Amino acid sequence: MSELAIELKGIDKSFGLVHANRNINLKVRKGTIHGIIGENGAGKSTLMSILYGFYQADHGDIVINGQTVNIRDPNAAIAAGIGMVHQHFMLVENFTVLENIMLGAEESQILNAGITKARAELKRLEKEYALEVDPDAVIEELPVGIQQRVEILKALYRKADILILDEPTGVLTPAEADHLFRILGQLKDQGKTVLLITHKLREIMAITDEVSVMRRGEMVATRTTSETSVEELAELMVGRRVLLRVEKGEARPADVKLSVKNLTVRDSRGVTMVDDVSFDLRAGEIVGIAGVAGNGQSELLEAISGIRRAKSGTVLLNGRPVDVTGHADPAELRKCGLAHVPEDRHHVGLVLKFEESENAILGYHDDPKYRKGLTLDVDAIRAEAEEKIAAYDIRPPNPRLKTANFSGGNQQKIVLAREMERNPDVLIIGQPTRGVDVGAIEFIHRRIIEMRDQGKAVLLVSVELDEIRALSDRILVMFAGRVVGERAPDATEGELGLLMAGVEGPKEAAE
Amino acid sequence: MSVPYAKLPAWAEYGLIPLVNLAVAFLISGLVVLIVGESPLEAAYHMINGAFGRGEYIGFTLYYTTTFIFTGLAVAVAFHAGLFNIGGEGQAYVGGIGVALACLALDRTLPWYLVFPIAILGAAFFGALWAMIPGWLQAKRGSHIVITTIMFNFIAASLMNYLLNKVFKPLGSMSLETRTFEAGGQLPKLDWLMSIFGLSVGSAPFNISFLLALVAAFAVWVLIWRTKLGYEMRTMGHSPAAARYAGIKEAKIIVITMMISGGLAGMMALNPIMGEQFRMQLDFVQGAGFVGIAVALMGRSHPAGIIPAALLFGMLYQGGAEISFEMPSISRDMIVIIQGLVILFAGALEHMFRPAITRLVIGLSPKTRDVAATKGA
């Protein structure tokens, strides 16, 4: 059993001045599920990219099944028996399952012979690993859970013995994630080795045999999963003790601050993304919107904040109607007391090439207090940025540093500081902790609760069900653009999971 | 992780890399000269001497520099808002109408210092007008600005051909140009500036619009980095989604940006029309609008980079003319090759030597490595 599938010896990689991996040693035993955890920017992805041949290590050796190999590119990795399932699937959307699996392994210019062979091989793999997929289904018509299965089949078709999965559950419902874990268990039983990269500690505890922790480009520890705890792993990741549970008191909901009625939103292709959604949001409460990514939550936030035009419906902000179907203007809504922390801070909430202080006024740059005559009052802007940096402990504390150079957690704090310090009546937050390190999550959650306790109305969208359950006073579940149910935060994960998967429980049937 | 190469110190980023690129461009140019059978060293001598050897030569170099500062700034302003204005050529050409109208109407009655501001406004107005149409088409109809501005260069050429033929040409004249302006339509040369350095401007048309170009460069810096409009332009240029989120009106910014860009391009017309020829001739822009693209690329769309880049191209123009004069086997086309190589290495292949230089710089300063490493990937 102690035979090693992968051994990394002294892997070192720098990108210019950035030292992404330093002297990494890792041993992965054959036939195990090995987890790799670490905060964003800890170097997990770089390490896996080296293993899969996207990058070359500056120093160090990769030993696969006892043989030192030189992995120059992904083809060499495949030849060495390594398969990778990327976080964002690498599938051709309008190809069938079979065509996707064959892609790059066609074997001849004429496809016919290959197709017959591939179909037979696919049948065999499906049976062996209980991975049922219709080989003639078109990818874009399949749910994400099945698409992921296709990615796994793709790797197996290329005779992978070692499977790397990069954040595989980000796009899955809890039920789909459970199914994936069962598949991984089966793969393990068949003697395959699985490397699971994730930042979710619970997943690590649930399915891995061993776990390695990375921090700041270094491998800081490897533990046997059964002998460690979530608390210990979190501490190893962050380098200090972390409070994992959010403490909060009772909500005291007051007046309705935001009222959404029969809101319907279509995307640019005309597909209905938000379908007849209605809800009220009161001062002093947090309403969480749960759902698997892509079920209309993004479009809902965009329509409410005036970025995307709605097809029909009404929105009242502080009792005043918002022209969501016509000329709703994000700048105008801000003045009326709406603050918006967008889901995608890299492209929407921040301009990464701007200085920190420039991002600290984005959307509020019209405010006369930032102006001096015809020009911007740069000194005042920087001084205010410094205050926010101090209040939100943004590091490094330099308002002139380019935003791209801050870590994910600090970038999110820049956005939160900007939106929260405006003292809005309604705060809508999308994915508050996506790509944010554990240490900052604690801080961000505390601030959100503080906003509620100050009597703000908070609308929270997150694909992390744990986060929704921890913060919300009421939970709305969205599926296929509709609100399919409302639950109290103490609803079980299973119940919410069923709603998120679009399976209506008996209660809805009665309604 | 997302940044393939680490940040270099400023001296390497803005000094070393452009210099290396430039050196390689000149090296290859030298090889071409060698293949033609001439001495590259002699060519280099004529280039440098022709550009800076005498007060008069410097005057010519700075005359071209003036032109390229205007067109370079025009491209740069649009660039900051994410717009690629290739129409500087046409906008400068049409801007000439404003200069010509001001001069033709007032040169006999007003002194130059009163005609000049009116001509500036006229040039900027017509240039802005010509750029506004593609801007409006992009903002409202989604027509791509690259396509429309190119098309508008051709339309401008035809329009000006017609106007010079039918409107501006004095009766009985054979050449396609306006009448020569009187004293009120002639900008003074900057001999006083040259004489400070003990040089004489000679016959070179180095005129006061050079100072206007420097003022424009400073004004562009203020606009881009110190005004709300510039802030909104940059936001849109870096991230249209962030601009929408911030409530910035995309259509408005596109049209205004293009008008400012076109206005700057139009002001280029002051230099040849009021500063050199004292009349508007057919095809007076002579490709300066396109050189502006290279200047903006080399100068990284920053006024502090555009001025030296414009000076470099001014030198290539003036020195290049001198080479073809002194060395007959090197034709004018050779100069175009050299300019092309400079654009190729400074613009298109900007990052070719970056990995090597990054390694070198890091190797030289081990201290910076440790500091950066603690920040993590």
Tell the CATH topology of A4-238: Rossmann fold (3.40.50)
pLDDT at position B364 is 64
Q: Which positions in chain B touch A378 (Cβ < 8 Å)? A: 226
**Do A347 and B373 count as a contact with CB atoms less than 8 A apart?**
no
- Look at residues A344, A257, A345, A268 and name the one whose alpha carbon lies nearest to residue A304: A257
What does the buried/exposed string (b/e) look like for A179-206 if buried means 16 or more CB atoms within 10 Å of the residue's CB?
A: bbbebbeebbeeebbbbbbbbbbebbbe
Residue with the bigger pLDDT between B377 and A208: it is: A208
| The dihedral sign for the CA sequence A154, A156, A161, A167 | positive
Nearest-CA distance B175 → chain A (Å)? 47
Q: Residue B377 is nearest to which of A18, A332, A363, comparing CB atoms?
A: A18
| C-alpha–C-alpha distance, residues B264 and B211, integer Å | 14
Decide: helix, strand or coil at residue A69.
strand
Read off the DSSP letter of residue A138.
Answer: B
Q: What is the mean pLDDT of chain B?
A: 89
Beta bridge partner(s), residue A289: A461, A476
**Do B372 and A17 count as a contact with CB atoms less than 8 A apart?**
yes
Residue of B nearest to A216 (CA): B376
Nearest-CA distance A46 → chain B (Å)? 7
Q: Residue A371 is nearest to which of B228, B242, B374, comparing CB atoms?
A: B228
pLDDT at position B369 is 41
The side-by-side arrangement of strands in the sheet containing A320-322 is A272-282, A256-266, A312-317, A320-322
Does the fold of domain A256-349+423-510 match that of domain A4-238?
A: yes
Nearest-CA distance A375 → chain B (Å)? 4
* CATH tag, B59-323: 1.10.3470
Please state, in angstroms and as integers, the Cα–Cα distance from residue A320 to each residue in A315, A316, A333, A472, following that order: 8, 5, 11, 25
**Do A351 and B6 count as a contact with CB atoms less than 8 A apart?**
no
| C-alpha–C-alpha distance, residues A147 and A125, integer Å | 16
Structural domain boundaries in chain B: 1-38+329-377, 59-323
Q: What is the average per-residue pLDDT within B131-160? A: 96
Q: Residue A347 is nearest to which of B6, B242, B358, comparing CB atoms?
A: B242
- The letter for the amino acid at A489 is P
Nearest-CA distance B4 → chain A (Å)? 6
Contact (Cβ atoms closer than 8 angstroms) between residue A242 and residue A235: yes
Sort B48 into a burial class: Cβ within 10 Å, 0-12 / 13-18 / 19+: middle
**Do A15 and B5 count as a contact with CB atoms less than 8 A apart?**
yes
- The letter for the amino acid at A138 is V
**Do B3 and A18 count as a contact with CB atoms less than 8 A apart?**
yes
**Do A351 and B235 count as a contact with CB atoms less than 8 A apart?**
yes
Read off the DSSP letter of residue A347.
Answer: I
**Do B1 and A20 count as a contact with CB atoms less than 8 A apart?**
yes
Give the contacts of B322 (CB within 8 A, at least 6 positions apart): B46, B47, B49, B50, B51, B57
| C-alpha–C-alpha distance, residues A100 and A445, integer Å | 41
Q: Residue A217 is nearest to which of B2, B231, B377, comparing CB atoms?
A: B377
Of A13, A14, A17, which to mutate for an interface test with B (greatest number of B Cβ within 10 Å)? A17
Residue with the bigger pLDDT between B324 and B159: it is: B159
Asked if the model's pLDDT at residue B3 lies above 50, the reply is: no
| C-alpha–C-alpha distance, residues B204 and B322, integer Å | 14
Q: Which positions in chain A touch B248 (Cβ < 8 Å)? A: 331
**Do A405 and B375 count as a contact with CB atoms less than 8 A apart?**
yes
Task: Identify the band that residue B365 occupies on the pLDDT scale cut at 50, 70 and 90.
Answer: low
Phi-psi region of B83 (alpha: psi -120 to 50; beta: other; left: phi over 0): beta
ipTM confidence: 0.83
**Do B242 and A350 count as a contact with CB atoms less than 8 A apart?**
yes
- Work out the number of other CB atoms within 10 angstroms of the CB of residue A482: 17
Structural domain boundaries in chain A: 4-238, 256-349+423-510
**Do A19 and B377 count as a contact with CB atoms less than 8 A apart?**
yes
Sort B233 into a burial class: Cβ within 10 Å, 0-12 / 13-18 / 19+: buried
Q: Residue A376 is nearest to which of B226, B242, B374, comparing CB atoms?
A: B226
Residue of B nearest to A333 (CA): B247
**Do B246 and A17 count as a contact with CB atoms less than 8 A apart?**
no
**Do A329 and B2 count as a contact with CB atoms less than 8 A apart?**
no
Residue of B nearest to A368 (CA): B228
Provide the Cα torsion A43, A44, A46, A51; round to 10°: 140
A149 — phi, psi (to 5°)? -60, -40
**Do A22 and B373 count as a contact with CB atoms less than 8 A apart?**
yes
Of A56, A87, A351, which to mutate for an interface test with B (greatest number of B Cβ within 10 Å)? A351
**Do B377 and A46 count as a contact with CB atoms less than 8 A apart?**
yes
Local mean pLDDT, 10-residue blocks, chain A (511 residues): 84 80 92 88 85 90 92 90 87 90 80 85 86 88 86 90 88 83 91 89 89 90 91 83 74 93 89 93 96 88 93 94 90 94 92 95 94 93 96 91 87 95 94 82 92 95 88 94 93 87 56 38
- Work out the number of other CB atoms within 10 angstroms of the CB of residue B175: 10
- Look at residues A318, A246, A232, A322 and name the one whose alpha carbon lies nearest to residue A282: A318
Q: How many residues does chain B have?
A: 377
Q: What is the average per-residue pLDDT within B190-200? A: 91
For domain A256-349+423-510, the CATH superfamily is P-loop containing nucleotide triphosphate hydrolases (3.40.50.300)
| C-alpha–C-alpha distance, residues B6 and A47, integer Å | 18
Provide the Cα torsion A335, A339, A343, A344; round to 10°: 50
Of A13, A18, A358, which to mutate for an interface test with B (greatest number of B Cβ within 10 Å)? A18
Residue of A nearest to B222 (CA): A375
Nearest-CA distance B235 → chain A (Å)? 7
pLDDT at position B239 is 94
| C-alpha–C-alpha distance, residues A260 and A265, integer Å | 12
Note the pLDDT tens digit of each residue in B254-273: 999 999 999 999 999 999 99
Asked if the model's pLDDT at residue B371 lies above 90, the reply is: no
**Do B7 and A17 count as a contact with CB atoms less than 8 A apart?**
yes
pLDDT at position A17 is 66
**Do A16 and B368 count as a contact with CB atoms less than 8 A apart?**
no
A487 — phi, psi (to 5°)? -135, 160
Nearest-CA distance A15 → chain B (Å)? 6
Q: Residue A330 is nearest to which of B5, B246, B358, comparing CB atoms?
A: B246
| C-alpha–C-alpha distance, residues A22 and A215, integer Å | 10
| C-alpha–C-alpha distance, residues A59 and A79, integer Å | 22
Q: What is the average per-residue pLDDT within B249-254? A: 96
| C-alpha–C-alpha distance, residues A222 and A490, integer Å | 34
Nearest-CA distance A423 → chain B (Å)? 17
**Do B247 and A330 count as a contact with CB atoms less than 8 A apart?**
yes
Note the pLDDT tens digit of each residue in B315-347: 988 998 888 888 888 877 777 888 788 878 877
Asked if the model's pLDDT at residue B370 lies above 60, the reply is: no
Of A425-439, B160-174, B280-294, give the lowest mean pLDDT range: A425-439
Q: Residue B241 is nearest to which of A43, A306, A347, comparing CB atoms?
A: A347
